[in-house]
Amino acid sequence: MTNRYCVFVDAGYLYMAGGQACLGAGDRGSIFLDVESFVPALSELCNGLVLDGRGRWLRTYWYDGAVRGIPHGIHEAIGLLPRVKLRIGRLVNHEQKGVDSLIVRDLVILAERQAISTAFLLGGDEDLREGVREAQDRGVEVVLLGIEPPQGSNLSDTLVMEADQLLLVGEEMLRPHFSKPDFADIVTPAATAIELGRQLATEYVGSLKGFERRAVLRSGSWLPPYIDWELRRRVRAMANWRDSGGINDARRGFREGCRSLRAPEQPDYSS
């Protein structure tokens, strides 16, 4: 069998456990993860610590949930990254549905076709056990990647027992890729909601580079949760604001601001 390997990432687990380890909170609505830098860094870690640098990284599978299973915003930016295969389940009441079954499917298919010799699984749900067992039965080594928690445990004990070995990923490796958006504490009471949205786009998005900038500018009609939260905060702080439609105006202003920040050759994804 080939010495190639794949990395399987449950984004829900990564945001929750990584956010708690690096930022003290697992609410992904207030977290930004630089996937573009994280994916190759995680692959290099796996290859170095487990395969002694002798493995060949085939690709990383990225699993996440979205409303109605339709990728949007940051998902589109992730799907365009090299060696990344995006898999989208459904998001129901802020909970992922169908993601575990997608992971199990890919594990089994790659094992059956002898496409990989080692699978690195970043996740903690017990429902992944069957996929681990099926891959092992077909000759694939399965290494469970867990994120070291500040306290307690974030991994299923039975999943740990099923895996061939456990590799704990620590805060030191994760921290360069996790951040909390740093918004200036500025509210202009006389501004309209639309103007507040434009102001936030200029203030925040204009300072971004690389993957994070592309992800936000690709948001279109959907906004990253941390952007939407900040828009709500600013609209609520407006003097004499009572109109429930204000947040929608702020969102529109933010999108208008994003369009003005796009390079001329960059497609407009908001229509």
**Is the confidence at residue 72, as pLDDT, over 50?**
yes
Q: What is the CATH number of domain 4-177?
A: 3.40.50.1010
Kindly calculate the radius of gyration of the chain based on its CA atoms and give it in whole angstroms: 20
With beta carbons less than 8 A apart as the criterion, state whether 31 and 19 touch.
yes
Q: What is the per-residue DSSP string for 39-92?
A: HHHHHHHHHHHTSTT--EEEEEEEEEEEGGG---THHHHHHTSTTEEEEEEEEE
For residue 209, give every residue at least 6 positions away whose Cβ sits within 8 Å of its Cβ, in sequence order, or none: none
- pLDDT tops 50 at residue 126: yes
Higher pLDDT, 212 or 110: 110
Extended beta strands in 140-261, E state: 141-147, 165-169, 178-179
What kind and span of H or E run contains 118?
Answer: strand 118-122
> Mean pLDDT over residues 91-114, rounded?
89
Nearest residue to 177 (alpha-carbon basis) of 28, 24, 38: 38
**Top mean-pLDDT range of 43-47, 205-209, 239-243:** 43-47
Higher pLDDT, 148 or 270: 148
Q: Which residues of 74-110 are buried (b: 16+ CB within 10 A; e: fewer)?
A: bbbbbeebeebbbbbbebeeeebebbbebbbebbbeb
Q: Buried (b) or exposed (e) across 140-167, using 16+ Cβ within 10 A? A: bbbbbbbbeeeeeebbbeebbebbeeeb
Instruction: Give the model's pLDDT for residue 189.
Output: 57
Compute the average pLDDT of residues 78-101: 87
What average pLDDT is seen over the chain? 86
Domain boundaries, the chain: 4-177, 181-261
* pLDDT band, very low/low/confident/very high, at 267 (cuts 50, 70, 90): very low
